[in-house]
Amino acid sequence: MPDYKLMAKQIESLAEIDSGFIPLLSNASAILNEGLERINWVGFYLMDNGSLLLGPFQGKAACVRIEVGRGVCGSAVSEGRVLRVPDVHDFPGHIACDSASQSEIVLPIRSGGKIVGVLDIDSPETGRFSEDDEKGLMMVTAAIESAADFSRLRT
């Protein structure tokens, strides 16, 4: 089981150096990429003028912009909740940025009471993400929410 508590602490420590969202999310994606097994993409999409724009990530080239309500990421924003998808092929409107991805988890990130982005993680394995992963990743997003300065984000 990944040490989500340690990952959250690392992110909080990095924010003490610089709480700007770009460096913090860049390092957070690296921490998650190193700490999680059996994933093929991890990163962030950030709200930008009403849609999601690709942010810092680790993995293959990705979709650049996603409309709210489209795909897993856009649906997580429109529904305002975590979406854990065991098989992306069963998700209506799934956006296939990488055909190797089989399962996905997306967690909204909030600042000032509104969603400012999402943490998106893909796996080449069906059913990769468990309830324990969801709870652990919620600790990570909570650390980001409390540590990152999103004031310069164009929501």
pLDDT, tens only, 72-128: 999 999 999 999 999 999 998 878 777 789 999 999 999 999 999 999 999 999 999
Using DSSP, state whether 38 is helix, strand or coil. coil
Are 65 and 53 in contact by the 8 Å Cβ rule? The answer is: yes
Residues 25-81: tens digit of each pLDDT: 999 999 999 999 999 999 999 999 999 999 999 999 999 999 999 999 999 999 999
3-state secondary structure at position 113 = coil
Query: In whole angstroms, what is the distance from residue 87 CA to residue 62 CA?
Result: 19
CA separation, residue 55 to residues 38, 69, 86 (Å)? 22, 18, 24
Per-domain residue ranges for the chain?
A: 4-147
Rounded to the nearest 5 degrees, what angle is found at the Cα of 40, between the Cα atoms of 46 and 30? 60
Element (H, E) at 34: helix 21-35
CATH code reported for the domain at 4-147: 3.30.450.40
Over residues 2-11, mean pLDDT: 96
> For residue 14, what pLDDT is reported?
93
Token duo for residue 121: 């993680």
pLDDT given for residue 79 in this prediction? 98
What digits encode the pLDDT tens for the residues 138-153? Answer: 999 999 999 999 998 8
Residue 36 tokens, joined: 């999680």
Q: Which tokens belong to 97?
A: 């940025």
* C-alpha dist (Å) from residue 140 to 16, 66, 154: 16, 23, 23
